[in-house]
C-alpha cells in the first residue's frame, strides 16, 4: 500500500484539513479508509488523529503553528520541506535539540499528513 | 500485516460502552454541555479546543482564581531572573471562544444526576464532566509541616502564586552564608525536573549576590532523575560546591521554630525552608469517586477518552491522572486536546481516535541564559491499554543558550495555546 493510498482517498482527494477551524463533520462523508499504526480506520478517525497530533505541535510551535519566538513557525511552510525535515531528523541526517528526540515517535505517513496540514494554514 | 481494523469496542472494554452511551441522549436533548473543572494547562486547553473543534458543544469552565498563575517559569521568579507579573496571565480571551467562565470552586459532584456543586452553592448540570483540578498536598505526611506553613516559615511554592513570591522574598532576606534547604517528594508528583531547576536558579542568585551561601537538596528520588547529566554538568560548571544534592533522603519532619528539617537520615539546619510535600489528585476527584488508583491518590483513565473507568461521563486530565506520563503543563495541554477530540467524536456519533499520541517536552533553565530540554513521544497501545514510550526520546546532556531561547519561546507558545 502506498503512502498516497494511506492518507488520500481513492479519488485522490486529500483528506487533510485546511485549518483546525474546519469541522471534522465535513470529513466524515469521505468514506475511504486510512491507516494508523497499520490498521484501517474510517476517514473521520484519521482526520481526528492528524488534527490532534498537529495540535500537539502547537504547544511548542504556537497555536496553529504560528510561533511567538525562536521556535520556528510551521504554518504555511512548504509541505515537501516539512516532511523531508522530519525524515531527516529521523535518519539523523539533520540535527536538532528536540525534534530529533521526537522523530522516531511518529510514522512517515503521519509526517506526510502533518506536513499537508501545516502547509495549508495561511 | 493484516489491514482489518481492530474491534475498538472489544479492545476498550467497559469504558467504550460508557463513551458511546450518551450519543442518543444528546441527539434528543440538543447541544451537549461539558463542564470543565480547573483552568490550568489541562482544563483551559480542553475548554478552548472543544469550542474550536465543535462550536455546537457548550462549555462551562469552573476556576476559583481570577487569573492564571503559571508554574512553568515560577522557578525563574524564585531565582530572580523574571518578575512575578510575567507568570500571571489573564483568562480574558477564553470567553471569546464561547466558554462560560464561572469563578468558583467545584466542591461536589453527583455523578448519577450529573450535577456539579460549587462553593458558592451553584448547581451546574453536565453531560460530560472534565476534571482538571491539579494537585493537593499531603502535608500530614510531614510532621510539623502544617504548623510551619501556617507560620509562613515552611513553603512549597509548588503551586504558582503567593508562595512563589514569598519564597523569593525569603531568599532575598537571607544573609550571605545562609543555608537554603529544598526537599522534594518521592515520585510521582508534579514536575519531576522542577526541584533541580529551582536549585539551579537559586544557585544562580546566590552566586551573584550571596556567594557564601549553600543549597542542600533533600531529594526523595534516588538520583537527579530528570535531565540528570544536564543538571549535574551545569552545577559543576556554574556553581561548584554550592549545591549539595542528597538523593533518597525523604523528609519526615520540620520544626519551624528551630528551623530544622529532619529526614529519614539526618537533621539539617536551614535559613530558608522549601519543602515540596507528596501530592495527590485534588479533593474534587475523590468527591467524584475517580481517585481510585491502588494508593487512592491518582485517577486512572481510559487512554483514548480520558474517561474514568468506573464513573461514566467523568473525565480526568493533567497532574491528577494516574499514568506513566510526566505530570507537566505540556502533557496536561496535550491530554486536554486528546480528550477534547474524543468528546467531539463521541458527541457527533463517531468513533474516537483509538491511537492517540502524546508529545512531552520540558525545558529547564540552569542559569539566566542556559536551558536544556527533554523530549519524549508516547503512543497509546490499545492492546496494552497504556501509553508506550517511543525510541529516540530523552534529555540533552548539556544546557546552552540556544535552548534558553527555545525555552522562552516554549513559554510564550504554550501560554498562547492554552489561554490566548
Asked whether the beta carbons of residue A40 and residue B358 sit closer than 8 angstroms, the reply is no
Q: Is the CB of B23 inside 8 Å of chain A's CB atoms?
A: no
Q: What is the 3-state secondary structure (H, E, C) of A23-87?
A: CCHHHHCCCCCEEECCEEECHHHHHHHHHHHHHHHHHHHCHHHCCCCCCCCCCCCCHHHHHHHHH
* Interface predicted TM-score of the whole assembly (ipTM), two decimals: 0.92
Asked whether the beta carbons of residue A69 and residue B409 sit closer than 8 angstroms, the reply is yes
- Closest CA–CA distance from residue A115 to any residue of chain B (Å): 17
User: What letter does residue A22 receive in the DSSP assignment?
Assistant: S
Asked whether the beta carbons of residue B348 and residue A53 sit closer than 8 angstroms, the reply is no
Q: Are strands B115-118 and B106-110 parallel, antiparallel or unpaired?
A: antiparallel
Q: What is the 3-state secondary structure (H, E, C) of chain B?
A: CCCCCCCHHHHHCHHHHHHHCHHHHHHHHCCCEEEEECCCCCHHHHHHHHHHHCCCCEEEEECCCCEEECCCCHHHHHCCCCCHHHCEEECCCHHHHCEEEECCCEEEEECCCCEEEECCCCEEECCEEEECCCEEECHHHCECHHHHHHCCCEECCCCCCHHHHHHHHHHHHCCCCCEEEEEECCCCCCCCCHHHHHHHHHHHHHHHHCCCCEEEEEECCCCCCCCHHHHHHHHHHHCCCCEEEECCCCEEEEECCCCEEEECCCEEECCEEEECCCEEECHHHHHCCCCCCCCCCCECCCCCCCECCCCCCEEECHHHECCCCCCCHHHHHHHHHHHHHHHHHHHCCCCCCCCCEEEEEEEEECCCCCEEEEEEEEEEECCCCEEEECCCCEECCCCEHHHHHHHHHHHHHHHHHHHC
Instruction: Give me the residues of B, 312-331, that contact A with CB < 8 A.
Output: 330
Task: Identify all chain B residues contacting A100, using CB atoms and an 8 Å cutoff.
Answer: 392
Asked whether the beta carbons of residue A59 and residue B361 sit closer than 8 angstroms, the reply is yes
Q: Is the CB of B359 inside 8 Å of chain A's CB atoms?
A: yes
Q: What cell numbers appear for B102 in the block? A: 464561572
Q: What is the mean pLDDT of residues B91-105?
A: 98
Q: Is the CB of B341 inside 8 Å of chain A's CB atoms?
A: yes
Q: B284-308 b/e with 16+ CB inside 10 Å = b?
A: bbbbbebbbeeeebbbbbbbbbbbb
Q: Which residue has the cell 534547604?
A: B181
Nearest-CB residue to A105 (from B341, B356, B377)? B377
Give yes or no for residue B293 having a pLDDT over 80.
Answer: yes
Asked whether the beta carbons of residue B375 and residue A58 sit closer than 8 angstroms, the reply is no
Q: Measure the CA dihedral B75/B81/B87/B88, to 10°.
A: 120
Q: CA B210, CA B167: separation in Å to the nearest integer?
A: 16
pLDDT band at B14 (very low <50, low <70, confident <90, very high): very low
pLDDT band at A15 (very low <50, low <70, confident <90, very high): very low
Task: Identify all chain B residues contacting A24, using CB atoms and an 8 Å cutoff.
Answer: 53, 344-345, 348, 350
Asked whether the beta carbons of residue B417 and residue A58 sit closer than 8 angstroms, the reply is yes
**What would the pLDDT profile of A86-112 be if each residue is shown by its tens digit?**
999 999 999 998 999 999 999 999 999
What percentage of residues in chain B have a pLDDT greater than 70?
93
Q: Is the CB of B3 inside 8 Å of chain A's CB atoms?
A: yes
**What would the pLDDT profile of A38-85 be if each residue is shown by its tens digit?**
888 999 999 999 999 999 999 999 999 999 999 999 999 999 999 999
Give yes or no for residue B12 having a pLDDT over 70.
Answer: no
Nearest-CB residue to B361 (from A20, A98, A103)? A98
- Closest CA–CA distance from residue B361 to any residue of chain A (Å): 8
pLDDT band at B413 (very low <50, low <70, confident <90, very high): very high
| Mutate: best of A19, A41, A48, A121, partner B, most B CBs <10 A | A48
**What would the pLDDT profile of B327-349 be if each residue is shown by its tens digit?**
999 999 999 999 999 999 999 99
Nearest-CB residue to A60 (from B5, B378, B410)? B410
**What would the pLDDT profile of B194-222 be if each residue is shown by its tens digit?**
999 999 999 999 999 999 999 999 999 99
Asked whether the beta carbons of residue B348 and residue A25 sit closer than 8 angstroms, the reply is yes
Nearest-CB residue to B392 (from A60, A62, A103)? A103
Mean pLDDT of the residues in chain B: 94
Q: Give pLDDT, residue B29.
A: 62
Asked whether the beta carbons of residue A40 and residue B5 sit closer than 8 angstroms, the reply is yes
Q: What is the mean pLDDT of residues B26-30?
A: 57
**What would the pLDDT profile of B159-185 be if each residue is shown by its tens digit?**
999 999 999 999 999 999 999 999 999
pTM: 0.90
Distance (Å) of CA B32 to CA B54, B125, B308, B391: 10, 11, 19, 39
Q: Give pLDDT, residue B37.
A: 98
Give yes or no for residue B13 having a pLDDT over 80.
Answer: no
Amino acid at each position: 500500500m502506498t503512502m498516497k493510498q494511506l492518507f488520500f482517498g481513492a479519488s485522490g482527494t486529500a483528506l487533510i484539513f485546511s485549518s483546525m477551524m474546519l469541522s471534522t463533520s465535513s470529513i466524515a462523508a469521505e468514506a475511504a479508509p486510512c491507516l494508523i499504526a497499520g490498521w484501517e480506520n474510517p476517514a473521520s478517525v484519521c482526520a481526528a488523529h492528524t488534527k490532534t497530533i498537529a495540535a500537539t505541535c502547537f504547544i511548542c510551535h504556537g497555536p496553529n503553528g504560528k510561533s511567538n519566538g525562536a521556535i520556528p513557525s510551521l504554518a504555511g511552510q512548504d509541505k515537501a520541506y516539512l516532511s523531508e525535515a522530519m525524515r531527516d531528523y529521523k535518519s539523523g541526517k539533520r540535527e536538532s535539540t528536540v525534534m530529533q528526540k521526537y522523530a522516531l515517535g511518529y510514522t512517515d505517513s503521519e509526517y506526510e499528513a502533518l506536513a499537508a496540514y501545516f502547509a495549508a494554514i495561511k | 500485516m493484516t489491514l482489518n481494523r481492530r474491534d475498538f469496542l472489544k479492545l476498550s472494554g467497559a469504558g467504550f460502552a460508557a463513551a458511546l452511551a450518551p450519543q442518543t441522549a444528546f441527539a434528543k436533548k440538543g447541544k451537549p454541555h461539558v463542564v470543565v473543572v480547573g483552568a490550568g494547562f489541562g482544563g483551559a486547553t480542553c475548554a478552548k479546543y472543544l469550542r474550536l473543534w465543535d462550536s455546537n458543544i457548550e462549555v462551562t469552565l469552573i476556576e476559583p482564581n481570577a487569573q492564571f498563575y503559571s508554574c512553568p517559569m515560577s522557578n525563574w521568579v524564585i531565582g530572580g531572573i523574571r518578575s512575578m507579573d510575567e507568570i500571571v496571565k489573564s483568562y480574558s480571551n477564553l470567553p471569546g471562544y464561547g466558554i462560560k467562565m464561572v469563578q468558583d470552586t467545584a466542591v461536589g459532584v453527583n455523578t448519577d444526576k450529573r450535577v456539579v456543586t460549587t462553593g458558592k452553592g451553584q448547581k451546574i448540570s453536565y453531560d460530560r464532566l472534565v476534571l482538571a483540578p491539579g494537585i493537593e498536598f499531603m502535608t500530614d505526611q510531614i510532621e510539623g509541616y502544617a504548623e510551619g506553613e501556617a507560620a509562613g516559615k515552611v513553603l512549597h511554592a509548588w503551586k504558582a502564586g503567593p508562595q512563589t513570591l514569598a519564597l523569593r522574598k525569603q531568599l532575598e532576606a537571607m544573609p550571605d552564608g545562609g543555608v537554603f534547604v529544598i526537599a522534594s517528594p518521592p515520585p510521582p508528583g508534579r514536575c519531576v525536573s522542577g526541584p533541580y531547576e529551582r536549585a539551579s536558579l537559586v544557585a544562580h542568585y546566590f552566586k551573584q549576590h550571596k556567594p557564601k551561601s549553600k543549597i542542600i537538596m533533600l531529594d526523595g528520588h534516588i538520583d537527579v532523575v530528570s535531565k540528570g547529566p544536564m543538571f549535574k554538568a551545569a552545577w559543576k560548571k556554574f556553581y561548584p560546591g554550592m549545591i549539595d544534592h542528597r538523593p533518597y533522603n525523604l523528609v519526615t519532619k520540620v520544626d519551624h521554630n528551630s528551623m530544622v528539617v529532619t529526614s529519614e537520615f539526618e537533621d539539617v539546619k536551614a535559613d530558608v525552608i522549601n519543602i515540596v510535600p507528596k501530592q495527590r489528585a485534588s479533593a474534587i476527584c475523590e468527591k467524584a469517586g475517580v481517585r481510585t488508583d491502588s494508593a487512592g491518590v491518582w485517577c486512572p483513565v481510559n487512554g483514548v477518552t480520558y474517561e474514568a473507568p468506573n464513573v461514566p461521563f467523568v473525565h480526568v486530565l493533567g497532574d491528577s491522572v494516574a499514568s506513566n506520563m510526566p505530570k507537566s503543563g505540556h502533557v496536561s495541554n496535550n491530554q486536554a486536546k486528546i480528550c477534547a477530540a474524543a468528546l467531539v467524536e463521541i458527541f457527533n456519533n463517531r468513533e474516537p481516535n483509538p491511537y492517540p499520541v502524546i508529545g512531552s517536552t520540558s525545558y529547564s533553565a540552569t542559569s539566566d541564559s542556559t536551558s536544556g530540554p527533554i523530549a519524549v513521544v508516547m503512543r497509546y497501545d490499545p492492546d496494552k491499554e497504556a501509553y508506550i514510550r517511543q525510541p529516540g526520546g530523552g534529555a540533552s546532556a548539556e544546557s546552552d543558550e540556544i535552548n534558553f531561547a527555545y525555552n522562552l519561546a516554549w513559554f510564550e507558545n504554550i501560554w498562547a495555546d492554552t489561554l490566548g
